[in-house]
Structure 1
Amino acid sequence: MFFKEVVASLYAWDLLDENVDHALDVLQRETRTNSTYLVALMHDEKRPLTDFYYPHNPRRKVYWTEDSRAYWRPSPDGYERIKPRLSDSDELAGTDWMQVLIDASRARGMSVGAELSHTWIDKERTRTELADCVQRDVYGNPFDGQVCFNNPDVRAYAKALYVDLAANYDIDYVMTCVRGFNPGRGEGADTELGRLVGTTHGGCFCDSCQARAEAHGVDWAALTERLRWLADGYDRFNHKQNFELRLLLASTANITSLLVELPELYAFLKFRADSLTEFFAEVRTAVKDVSPRTDLRLNHYAGHPELMGLDLRSVAKQLDSIRSSDYAEQSGDPARMEWKRGYLHNIRRTVGLDMYFLSAVSPRPKATPELVEQGVRISAECGADALTIGHYDGSWLDCLRAVKSGLDKVGIEIRPDLPMWQRAAPALDGNPPHEIVPSSRS
């Protein structure tokens, strides 16, 4: 059995604190890593994410990341209204960390890429001069940090980010795990019906979404009126709506019957999915125009992607590869590994056999070497073409070593000469990838 790559992520502060060559030495020796990527635009988050303190950072116990900062040198001419914000850190500012990782990785014969993480604009700006660029719920309230993919300025910014990295750096792929449409209350619901109804508190209902929906024949006024009635039910002082919602959730109704009953809800879900597919299609066209060899990769992390507007089958047609971001190992729960198996099967089923597919394992607490080894095996059994590590900065050494031992026990060879199995995805010709379904109510 063969994997093309073992891929590891690194952050700018990892390269600063541990020295890039030391980090790559450890990764090559303990995990057989032959590909790296920099989280080049990073959101606001404590590192390490899953433990109190770093397990092997020699300079600090924790690191508090800046909010949505870029750690390369953006080309100023490529951006319009929205521009990436650079680091304000005295330690990190002024260094092109993307180039640092490229130089060190290429010297070892590694492939190398960049990731644009969950949020692309800092909350300071989305709450002030860029407030019109964020998603809004059915009441008009903004979701901080979650940009709207139908906003023209956001689309221009997204294309500029990808093109900047693809055109100006010697990288093999650009990946993103950007948050899609806000799932509202659906993400935390414990039933399928609850998750579906909870999306009425999600995004997006902004002016840009209304304009795009109406241009495709959606009766936006009827749609928002009906969905607002459902959303009102979460407030017990809206007596009629609350009664209807509680009765619905206590009944034997299922998601199929609800979608038949409420075509507005289906139209809303379909509109969001088509919007994200259009968005990635525009990104693809922009990137391939400047760098046909650059791999477009999605870092897929959502357990229920449809709640965030992601139709994975459609979006996959605009990608070259996909990374599963399931980190079941770090739960410490062996039962969770069977969920991982099903998750990987669903991704492979959805994107097809020809898509280049990377599966992640997590050597972070509460992972054990046994679970990491099991994750390697499950990845192979579920049709992955490569392995990826999430993430080096919080990983204990025994669990890092388990990546290599897991590969050896299964008998997986690392073959970087294997093809990527890329498909040439068609660019859009000005039409949406699927017809946007209008509301049946007038």
Structure 2
Amino acid sequence: MLKFDVNRREFVKLAAGTGAALALPNFALGDVSSKMIGIQVGAVSFVDEGTEKVLDVLQERAGVNTLFLAVFTYGRGIAGRQIHGQPLPDHGKQEYDLNFHGGNFATPHPEFYKNTVIKETRAPDHGNLDILAEVLPAAKKRGMKVICWLEDVFRTDLPNIAKVQERDLHGRNTETLCVNNPDYRNFFTGLVEDYARSYDIDGIMWGSERQGALSDSLGATHDTPPIDPGEVTCFCEFCQAKAKQRGINPERARQGFLELEKFVRASRGGKRPVDGYYVQFWRILLRYPELAAWEMLFTDGLRENYAAIYKTVKAAKPAVPVGWHIWHNNSFNPIYRAEQDLQELAKYSDFIKVVMYNNCGGERMALYADNIGSTLYGDLSKQGLLDMNYALMGLKEGSYEQIPRTGLSADYVFRETKRALEGVAGTNTRIWPGIDIDIPTEPENSKCTPQSVKAAVLAALRAGASGVLLSRKYSEMRLANLSGAGDAIREFKV
């Protein structure tokens, strides 16, 4: 097992040295046959439909050449069947998996987990099935690549998990794990080393859909309900020790978040400060600059995990590409976007999947406006807030009333792809836009069609992306909409 002393020069050197040796095709712009056409898919689809049948469908309908196989997660977002209560798709077993457990859907090899208290993670959902051992040979016979897709979503009933959980503002354990806890980092570096050394994989993608305490306090997200301001994280011993090393006073930070908690509770209760919401927030921030420093404490901790994962994989198999899933909040929250510095991430990224889910994006954009409009921007109308946000984020979309029902446009995908490509300009890092197909939305809100999927995929390809990643998971996609992606790929090739 490796120890990690994060060295920026070393990662730059690694990235430069491995950029030409990636295990993926050489994706030349303008030639769709050389582009990465990926799809996120979980073990349950192969169990329900059969491995060869699933691969037939993915290749024939959408021209998929790369599987992003959900190999580690305890979450329903990328694994399991359709979410309970949502309409079942027109393939797979026509029932919900109400007893979904999750975990490692491959075979953990104990020697890679000696330096972490997180050890017993084998997913029990499909007996002794090792999804990598099952899918890899069949995919490779067809010339398809397999990239391991893993995320930091955990259960609360795992052995020793309390030792790694974050602590909130009032010292309570939370469901999420601390990015600055060495057991967390050692688990994920052990996990990716296990995959890289134990299997003939073609890449690893890791995702963490989280942000720092400042954004979470303000409700600067599309999640509903937004996090309680008293439950923001993390204030554990590792975060406090790291803060002190940086010259940040943990007690001052805690006092600042307590003041912010009062502000948010009053704001959500409709109690307007004398000088307005925005001014009052800045009064708190100016008095407690530790609030912004604590936000970056999380962000830098997350980046250090990216770097450690990257270094581990490159030490095990230098030719295996490594990349990241960037959360959809990147399209809504300017603070979160500021933290996603693509030039910085490119130093330890062979590829980056930037989420550009346009269909569910309208509903999510409106939810973001609801959340942040009840705190920081409480003095703005919802439409005024969106107009400001569109200007800040470089978007031109519909009204607050329209977008949940229409989704965001293909132009949103085009603009976001262009922006991301400019963000990594001068590096070897590839941008693969994440395109949504049938991610659940409220019954009255926008639903995907073959035409809308086709338009979104075409927008990404025409903007210059070297590939697209069909998301969130095959088990919730309708076949006609999957074919819409294939129509775009064929049209672009012509």
Common fold by TM > 0.5: yes
Indicate whether 1:388 and 2:469 are aligned: yes
- The match for 1:270 is 296
Distance 2:478 2:285 in 1: 46
| Residues 139 and 145 in structure 2, CA contact (< 8 A), matched pair in contact too | yes
Does the alignment pair 1:184 with 2:216? yes
Q: Is 1:403 aligned to 2:493, yes or no?
A: no
For 1:242 and 1:16, how far apart are their aligned partners in 2?
46
The alpha carbon displacement at 1:140 in A equals: 1.5
- Structure 1 residues 353 and 84, CA gap change in structure 2 (3 angstroms): farther
Q: Equivalences for 1:36-51 in 2 at 5 Å? A: 36-45=67-76, 47-49=81-83
**Residue of structure 2 equivalent to 1:82:** 118
CA deviation profile, 1:9-67 (whole Å, cap 9, x unmatched): 22111111100110110111111111112100132326314972432334332223634
Shift of 1:201: 5.0
Distance in 1 (CA, whole Å) between partners of 2:156 and 2:414 is 36
Whole-angstrom CA distance in 2 between matches of 1:189 and 1:290: 37
Paired residues of 2:285 and 2:291 also in contact (CA < 8 A): yes
For 1:436, the equivalent position in structure 2 comes to none
1:148-159 equivalences in 2 (<5 Å): 148-159=178-189
Work out whether 1:129 is the aligned partner of 2:211.
no
What is the deviation of 1:244?
Answer: 13
Structure 2, unaligned runs of 5 or more: 1-29, 362-404, 440-446
Q: Distance in 2 between matches of 1:351 and 1:200?
A: 37
- How much does 1:337 deviate? 3.7
Partner in structure 2 of residue 35 of structure 1: 66
Q: Distance in 2 between matches of 1:78 and 1:333?
A: 47
**In structure 2, what residue type is equivalent to 1:85?**
T
Residue identity (%): 20
Greater shift in the superposed pair: 18-27 or 307-316: 307-316
- Provide the alpha-carbon RMSD of the alignment: 3.1
Q: Greater CA deviation, 63-72 or 30-39?
A: 63-72
Aligned position for 1:13: 44
* 1:245 Cα deviation after fit: 8.4
1:61 aligns with 2:101: no
Over 3 Å counting, the alpha-carbon distance change for 1:248 and 1:117 in structure 2 is farther
Tell me if the contact between 1:199 and 1:307 (Cα under 8 Å) persists in the aligned partners: no
How many aligned positions are there? 397
Range moving further from structure 2, 171-180 or 105-114? 171-180
Instruction: Pick one of 100, 122, 128 that aligns with 1:94.
Output: 128
SS at match of 1:402: helix
- The residue number in structure 1 matching 2:258 is 228
Alignment partner of 2:54 out of 23, 35, 51: 23
1:428 corresponds in structure 2 to: none
Distance 1:75 1:310, change over 3 A: farther
Shift of 1:252: 5.2
Summarize the Cα distance change of 1:263–1:409 in structure 2 as closer, same or farther, 3 Å threshold: same
- Residue 164 (structure 1) shift: 0.7
- Map Cα deviations across residues 118-138 of structure 1 (whole Å, 9 max, x no partner): 41x32212xx73213112221
TM-score by length of 2: 0.72
1:432 matched residue in structure 2: none
